[in-house]
Amino acid sequence: MGVTTTDEIAGTVKVDPERVCELKAFDDTKAGVKGLVDEGITKIPRVFHHPPDEYVKASTLGNTEHVIPVIDLANVGEDPCSRQQVIARIREASETWGFFQVVNHGIPVTALEDLKDGVRRFYEQDTEVKKEIYSRDQMRPFVYNSNFDLYSSPALNWRDTFMCYLAPNPPKPEDLPSVCRDILLEYGTYAMKLGITLFELLSEALGLHPNHLKDIGCAEGLLSLCHYYPACPEPELTMGTTKHSDDSFLTVLLQDHIGGLQVLYQNTWIDIQPEPGALVVNIGDLLQLITNDRFKSVEHRVLANLEGPRISVACFFSAGIKSTPKLYGPIKDLVSEDNPPKYRETTVAEYVHYFCERGLDGTSALQHFRI
Ligand SMILES: O=C(O)CCC(=O)C(=O)O
Ligand SMILES: [Fe+2]
């Protein structure tokens, strides 16, 4: 993994030793972005500066016409008529926005609140306790650090994150911090159940057998990322999360009331308004790949905010990446002579490795796999 920055004049990529020192000094504090805020800084370090963005914000256009759909899953199990309506809305959202929100999704609202509280408790515990576990060792069952792509991305994000795999092998309770252990494991069980329901509905939306996506392993692996976006003294200079699409098949995201999550639609940033009790669902790159571009993995980002901290939990459904040598390419039933495969086959491990090595640089990893 190289340490690079873009030389704007020559348009080439070069190593900047001063920047490398700044990155290392920040990493060595092991206190993350929250540590900077706790110190009381009023100007953000230059490694967090992002170039100005080229797209328009819908909110600045006064545009209320673009609203990501909120879909009620209350009766999908019992009533065939409402199931068909839900499937139609999911199909439309997945083909256009790549995003929708769900309510009455089966996860109790108390569990969502408990999870956000647990994540907050983790970040707001004593810094010395957190320093002990701050690490970039991806082999650990629980990995806490700031900016997974610290040494490869062109600009840092105003965000700290911890991650753990909740499936196929849930972590041992003793491998998780006691402040959020029980709720993380409980949420993992709920998220998996919801994921299976969503893959059934998505399979039907594609005209496939309801079990198709589950049977090919789309829900085998579940990775959770728990983000903490501290309040930022200069939010207009940086980003909470750089523009990216997800490397999963599907992502289920819990966001709090602060807002700042935006989706790119026709060169315009559309806000995903926080909806109490709702979960945000988005199509990932791997689902776009196996549906041969029918479902869209859409770029999104998170703005830095003045009022934070903002807390979110993203659950990524993928194959069990460490184990499976299985190849994924466009599903045979979805291709034809008129619609030939647009992607070569890949393993999930290869895809995720390529995605993570590049870091969030604002471009899509999918292009690399296009035929
Ligand atoms: O924090 C959020 O709302 C989104 C995070 C995200 O996009 C991700 O983890 O991939
Ligand atoms: Fe994402």
Q: Please report, for the domain that includes residue 26, its CATH number.
A: 2.60.120.330
Q: Where are the beta strands (DSSP E) in 84-141?
A: 99-103
Residue nearest to atom 2 of ligand 1 (CA): 312
Neighbouring residues of 284: CB distance < 8 A, sequence distance ≥ 6: 245, 246, 247, 248, 249, 250, 251, 297, 316, 317, 318
pLDDT of residue 237: 95
> Rounded to whole angstroms, how far apart are CA atoms 197 and 111?
18
Q: Is 335 in the pocket of ligand 1 (CB under 6 A)?
A: no
Ligand nearest to the CA of 282: 2
Contact (Cβ atoms closer than 8 angstroms) between residue 275 and residue 235: no
- Phi then psi for residue 310, to 5 deg, are -100, 140
> Rounded to whole angstroms, how far apart are CA atoms 231 and 73?
34
Ligand nearest to the CA of 302: 1
Side-chain-side CA neighbours of residue 308 (13 Å)? 32
Domain range enclosing 236? 5-369
Of the candidates 46, 94, 114, 59, the residue with the CA atom closest to the CA atom of residue 256: 114
Q: Is 302 in the pocket of ligand 1 (CB under 6 A)?
A: yes
Of the candidates 275, 273, 279, 247, the residue with the CA atom closest to the CA atom of residue 261: 273
Could you say which residues of the chain have pLDDT below 50? 1-13
pLDDT of residue 352: 86
User: Could you identify the atom of ligand 1 that is nearest to the CA of residue 159?
Assistant: 1
* Contacts made by residues 170-175, CB under 8 angstroms, sequence distance 24+: 171/141, 171/142, 172/141, 175/141, 175/142
Of the candidates 69, 60, 159, the residue with the CA atom closest to the CA atom of residue 119: 159
Of the candidates 217, 219, 206, 244, the residue with the CA atom closest to the CA atom of residue 315: 219
pLDDT of residue 357: 80
pTM of the predicted model as reported, rounded to 2 decimal places: 0.93
pLDDT of residue 216: 94
**Could you give the number of structural domains in the chain?**
1
Q: At what angle do helices 109-123 and 181-205 cross, to 10 degrees?
A: 130
Contact (Cβ atoms closer than 8 angstroms) between residue 155 and residue 49: yes
pLDDT of residue 308: 86
Q: How far, in Å, from the CA of 244 to the mean position of ligand 2?
A: 6
Residue 273's identity, in one-letter code, is: Q
> Rounded to whole angstroms, how far apart are CA atoms 308 and 311?
8
> Rounded to whole angstroms, how far apart are CA atoms 249 and 303?
24
Contact (Cβ atoms closer than 8 angstroms) between residue 224 and residue 166: yes
Look up residue 224 and give its two tokens.
Answer: 């959770």
Say which residue the tokens 């545009």 belong to.
63
For the chain, what is the radius of gyration of the CA atoms? 20
Pocket probe for ligand 1: among 227, 258, 298, the residue whose CB has the most ligand atoms within 8 Å is: 227
- Phi then psi for residue 6, to 5 deg, are -85, 130
With H, G, I as helix, E, B as strand and everything else as coil, classify residue 121.
helix
pLDDT of residue 295: 98
